[in-house]
Structure 1
Amino acid sequence: MALSWKERVFMALLGTATASGLTVLVLILVEATNILLPADTKFGIVLDAGSSHTSLYVYQWPADKEKDTGLVSQALACQVKGPGISSYTTDPAQAGESLKGCLGEALALIPGDLRQATPTFLGATAGMRLLSQKNSSQAGAILAAVSRVLGQSSLDFWGAEVLAGRDEGACAWVTINYVLGRLVKYSSGEWIQPAEGMLVGALDMGGASAQISFVPSGPILDESTQATFRLYGTDYSVYTHSYLCFGQDQMLNRLLAGLVQVRLSSPVLLVRHPCYLSGYQTTLPLASLYESPCVHAAARLNLTQNLTVEGTGNPGACVAAIRELFSFSGCEGPGDCAFNGVYQPPVQGQFYAFSNFYYTFHFLNLTSRQPLGTVNTTIWEFCQRPWKLVEASYPGQEQWLQDYCASGLYILVLLQALGFSEETWANIEFQKQAGGTDIGWTLGYMLNLTGMIPAEAPAQWRAQSHGVWVAGVVFVVLTLAAILGAAAVQLLWVQD
């Protein structure tokens, strides 16, 4: 029996719907592929409690990492209001309270569900090293106070401790080489390790200590000066040493104290200082000069007196006085040494000098890779300018202005003591930042810490290519149209 036209249309629409629906099913099951969704982001916080101030940094990195090391970037930098935590000896609780402002900024940045998995660490550097030597109970009370504040937050607090000088120098070396792309860089769609010969050394000077870190050409003979890292699948062996009491502030105190002790026989406590500009004069309590363990008071000094300091602007005498702060006797152990009997292999390769190295030379306009002769001439000419003329030329900078002559000459003496010569001077670059990131130990510390945090594999998802997805949508629409058409024919059929 022949089918009516309604029956033929109904059967055709039903067949179209069936075929189209089967095609959609095949596209979903056969053409779907696995894709990797972007990895979740992890966060970490490091606080740098220096001798003069504290800084808080928030870092982030993809959770899947690269050869067990995170690809870390800086998400926040916050300067804590007030002095360094070592200044809170009479009120340790305030050391912890001072952190709350920056801590609040960090918590506002990190999503709430990630805070309990955000490692947080405070490292105190040379200022607290000196306080630990002078009064360990005061240092302990300050660390307890900052630990209490950080521990009460919703973060994963890993501790607050006095950072060893070797760790500070070595982590700064990691930072500078990472931000310059010398440890890992992205090339041709993948992360690769550059050649080892591209690594640079680090020269750091804070208020209380100075550090040198680099990879020498030969073996490191003294294990106490060696730091080892495994980063992005590669092992590194770095020479590093921190010279406590050779930071800028402590150097200035030691320099002045040395000049005072030379004049003990004088009934008037007046020092004519060759490193201060002619015409400069100041008066300070003598006791304040001897508060640090770096400065040793002579037995005959009356520390209740005031000290008057007059500048003479004599760079030659200034250099001679600065050299008295160093001991150039030979090493106690095998191999080469720099000064004070400290072992050091010969310097090699490029170096980045930052912190107070940079700030002093930036003021003197000496950060453009000028030859050593030009640098010497510039500093000596500055030291010989009258104080009144310099003071008028730099309004608003009076707080540090008197120290730039001494600091500039000190940098020259220190770098020479560390083994740099006229031939290797061109290898030093004075910079505050590299790759748009502030140079310091905290980023290097965070990179090394990521190796202790388990990686998370990117999530997988089933998805189609764009062309297959478009075809699937077309067949879904066709299936629905055919079904609706068949339903309409069936409805007309019933009405007849």
Structure 2
Amino acid sequence: MRVSRRFTILAITAMIFLSLIICIYAVAAHTTVNVILQEQERSYGVICDAGSTGTRLFVYNWVSTSDSELIQIEPVIYDNKPVMKKISPGLSTFGTKPDEAAEYLRPLMELAELHIPEDKRPYTPVFIFATAGMRLIPDEQKEAVLTNLRTELPKITSMQVLKEHIRIIEGKWEGIYSWIAVNYALGKFNRTFTPDFPGTSPGQQRSKTVGMIDMGGASAQIAFELPDNDDFNSINVENINLGCREDDSLFRYKLFVTTFLGYGVNEGIRKYEKTLMAKLKDLNGTVIQDDCMPLNLHKTVTMENGEKFVRRGTGNWDTCAAEVKKLLNPETSSEVCKAEAAKCYFGAVPAPNIPLSNVEMYGFSEYWYSTHDVLGLGGQYNAENIAKKSEQYCGQRWSTIQAASKKNLYPRADEERLKTQCFKSAWITSVLHDGFSVDKTHNKFQSVSTIAGQEVQWALGAMIYHMRFFPLRDSTRNLIVKETHSASESLWAPLFFLSAVFCLFVLVCAKEHSLLCFDDKRRGPFGITRSQYSYKILKDNTTFYKDIA
């Protein structure tokens, strides 16, 4: 029995050793693939959002492992925060001094290079996208600024600067980029085997996307997906493809997207003050009672023509909301919108026959600030609660609000926010309900600042869209990565087969104690030892071969 026990211990040791070899192989194979992906496949991109008040830098990186999937773009992280920097003033201020435009962006380029490996910089694209501020300056100034950037920026940075990557974008594309960023952050572009969006086929494996409304200072953008079978036709319908192959419909989307210039909150205030000025002229006065400011707050307004008047707050939010609603009536309306059955946003822009109350919608920028910073009601939208909280806040004396602010009861709001909160809360709710016809009670609207812990910027959507063809550049390398996966996976079958055979052999030996397992006690009845048994086999074989001969 001594030999049998020794054999059992040996067998168990061998099994453990074999298991360790398999585990080590698995880890090594997985690590090898990860190294290939991380070191050889990682790429970088830089984008600058050149807005009216400043320019913000964003640095992204991604890994491309398949030309049938979207590239996985993420912000570059440093010190647990995304790499981002804003400089002021806005790019548009260089319209009168275009020769300084490229130098203005130098700090952003230098920061980006600090977070991009040196060998990757020549292959890192730089995008400079200017928005509303640059759209408002004279054409000759626009061209002078863009020319300076296209000529001088390559001298400042070793990153890839292409002429076509420096331009002024339309407001509509801000909406498209924001829509892409929101749905990407929510994972709506991931493949699914249960399509739940009408008008798509099972082969498309498409998830239902969400819509978005971005309320800025000067304008508001809206974007949401239309079913493929929707026959609504408009200049505001855009077909976009996020995939790298034009013949693949999996990532092709049909969007209704448009921008409403003049419907941002700051432009709303200007419109409102113009109506107040008009009322004062009829009254021949210089001070007007204002329901859209806290009680006893005074504000001196200077109009574009130099005329001045004083707004004196009365804090009546309900009346304020009614007055704001009147501002949304269009000055002109299209023939289509004049038809009684036609559906139009703000009574002027033809819209598809899709109730936005039934669409999952996300509100950004002022929709978050104006519901969260003072009222504390950011998130799932509740019109009744917002109206109640707004009425309570605006009904306070301004001195009471100031005292509360000094006690840090409004930690997220500065003085300007506190002064304009009454109007802004009335404006954003009126735009949502009266402009976009979202029901006050039954809706799927929510205001957000971050998704999955990250601030969502249209810059992310722009990077995803403009780098969509990137996987085609590395299709050969991607194939090598896939083959590495396949090769490592193909070796698992024989390894497990050999392990199973070995374990079966040990079990048979342990149960039967057969002669083949060299159990001396089982050979005892035959009167032979291990060496005699071996000799007997050899002798028997020799006799066998003689008989054949």
TM bracket, shorter-chain basis? 0.7 to 0.9
What aligned pairs does 1:71-470 form with structure 2 within 5 A after superposition? 71-75=72-76, 76-93=82-99, 95-129=101-135, 131-132=136-137, 135-148=138-151, 150-152=153-155, 153-158=157-162, 159-184=165-190, 196=206, 198-216=208-226, 219=230, 221-232=232-243, 233-265=250-282, 269-287=286-304, 303-327=305-329, 332-333=335-336, 335-345=342-352, 346=354, 347=356, 348-363=358-373, 364-369=375-380, 371-395=382-406, 397-416=414-433, 417-425=435-443, 427-453=444-470, 454-456=472-474, 457-458=477-478, 459=480
Amino acid at match of 1:205: M
Report if the CA contact (8 A) 1:330-1:337 is conserved.
no
Greater share of helix residues, 1 or 2? 2
Q: CA deviation at 1:267?
A: 5.3
Q: How far, CA to CA, are the matches of 2:123 and 2:192 in structure 1?
A: 28
- Sort the Cα spacing of 1:94 and 1:194 in 2 relative to 1 into closer, same or farther, 3 A: farther
How does the TM-score come out when normalised to structure 2?
0.68
- Higher mean alpha-carbon deviation, 61-70 vs 154-163, is at 61-70
State, as a whole percentage, how many aligned pairs show the same letter: 24
- Sort the Cα spacing of 1:370 and 1:244 in 2 relative to 1 into closer, same or farther, 3 A: closer
Q: How far, CA to CA, are the matches of 2:258 and 2:83 in structure 1?
A: 27
Q: CA deviation at 1:89?
A: 4.6
Report if the CA contact (8 A) 1:69-1:450 is conserved.
no
Mind listing any 5+ residue stretches in structure 2 that lack a counterpart?
Answer: 1-28, 77-81, 194-201, 244-249, 407-412, 496-549
Please give the secondary structure, in 2, of the residue aligned with 1:121. Answer: strand
- Sort the Cα spacing of 1:446 and 1:197 in 2 relative to 1 into closer, same or farther, 3 A: same
Amino acid at match of 2:161: F
- Sort the Cα spacing of 1:58 and 1:441 in 2 relative to 1 into closer, same or farther, 3 A: same
- Higher mean alpha-carbon deviation, 452-461 vs 117-126, is at 452-461
Q: CA deviation at 1:177?
A: 0.6
Match in the other structure for 1:487: none
- Sort the Cα spacing of 1:257 and 1:84 in 2 relative to 1 into closer, same or farther, 3 A: farther
Q: CA deviation at 1:230?
A: 2.0
Q: How far, CA to CA, are the matches of 1:370 and 1:304 in structure 2?
A: 40
1:61 partnered with 2:45? no
- Higher mean alpha-carbon deviation, 62-71 vs 437-446, is at 62-71
Q: Structure 1, residues 212-265: CA drift from partner, whole Å, max 9, x if none?
A: 111135625233111222234421111111101111222222221222133234
Amino acid at match of 1:420: V
Match in the other structure for 2:506: none
Q: Structure 1, residues 429-452: CA drift from partner, whole Å, max 9, x if none?
A: 111111222223211111111223
- Sort the Cα spacing of 1:357 and 1:236 in 2 relative to 1 into closer, same or farther, 3 A: same
How does the TM-score come out when normalised to structure 1?
0.75
Report if the CA contact (8 A) 2:101-2:148 is conserved.
yes
Report if the CA contact (8 A) 1:182-1:194 is conserved.
no
Q: How far, CA to CA, are the matches of 2:399 and 2:379 in structure 1?
A: 28
Q: CA deviation at 1:337?
A: 1.1
Count of equivalent residues: 412
Q: Please identify the structure whose Cα radius of gyration is greater.
A: 2
Q: CA deviation at 1:90?
A: 4.6
TM-align CA RMSD: 3.1
What aligned pairs does 1:9-20 form with structure 2 within 5 A after superposition? none
Q: How far, CA to CA, are the matches of 1:149 and 1:392 in structure 2?
A: 51
- Sort the Cα spacing of 1:380 and 1:239 in 2 relative to 1 into closer, same or farther, 3 A: same
